[in-house]
Amino acid sequence: MPVTSSDTMEIRTSDDIVRVRQKVRDLAVGIGLGLVDQTKIVTAASEIARNTLDYGGGGTARVEVIEEGFRRGVRVTFEDEGPGIADVTRAMQDGFTTGGGLGLGLSGAKRLSNEFSIQSAVGVGTRIMIARWKSG
């Protein structure tokens, strides 16, 4: 899948979450995503970025514009080298939390994205990809 723009950002503090949000918003506006779609992908990115910070102990976010055939989209890939998630299936359920939150982060971000994938290994880290396509 062709990638037409790619930026990798550090996630070390909660200021970085704001920066990731702004970057994702810029790219989403750039490819002409509608306002609701922009808001969805920015919110999803915010959720995962906070997970990366809070549970992964920080990491990176790679923010990209991708192309497939005639459509374009925004893809964000988060990587951390934190403790990892032991039971990914369970972590994806609404209400699952280890951090005292509402447990909507992962499942909510998935609902807000057109594409979502997660790989995690205990003691190695977690990688989460979200993407939203411009329809039509």
Partner 1 sequence: MDRIPILKMGSALLVTIQVDMQDRLAMALEEDLTTRIAQTGARGVLIDISSLEIVDSFIGRMLDSIAAVSRLLDARTVVVGMRPAVAITLVELGLTLTGVATALDVERGMALLGERIAGAEGFDAGDIL
Partner 2 sequence: MASPDQARFAALLAADRDRILAAWIGALKAAGTVGQGRITAMEMETQAREMLGHLVAAIGEAGFDAKAPAYGRLRDGLAEISRTRAMQGFSPSETAAFVFSLKRPLHEAIARAEGLDPAAAAEIGVEASVLVDQFGLLTVEAYQKRREEVIIRQQREIAELSTPVVKLWDGVLALPLIGTLDSERTQVVMENLLQSIVDHSAEIAIIDITGVPTVDTLVAQHLLKTVAAARLMGADCIISGIRPQIAQTMVHLGVELNVVSKATLADAFAVALRRIGRTVVPARPAASAQG
Residue 72 interacting entry, from partner 2, partner 1, none, C-beta within 5 to 8 Å by type = none
Buried b vs exposed e over 63-95: b needs ≥16 C-beta within 10 Å?
Answer: bbbbeeeeebbbbbbbbbebbbbeeeeebbeee
Residue 136 interacting entry, from partner 1, partner 2, none, C-beta within 5 to 8 Å by type = partner 2
Site for partner 2, rule CB under 8 A: 36, 70, 136
Residue 70 interacting entry, from partner 1, partner 2, none, C-beta within 5 to 8 Å by type = partner 2
| Sheet order of strands, 59-68 included | 3-11, 59-68, 71-80, 125-133, 115-121
Farthest-apart Cα atoms in the chain, separation: 42
- Minimum CB–partner distance for residue 34 and partner 2 (Å): 8
Site for partner 1, rule CB under 8 A: 14-15, 17-18, 21-22, 25, 35-36, 38-40, 42-43, 46-47, 50, 94, 101-102, 104-105, 107-108, 111-112
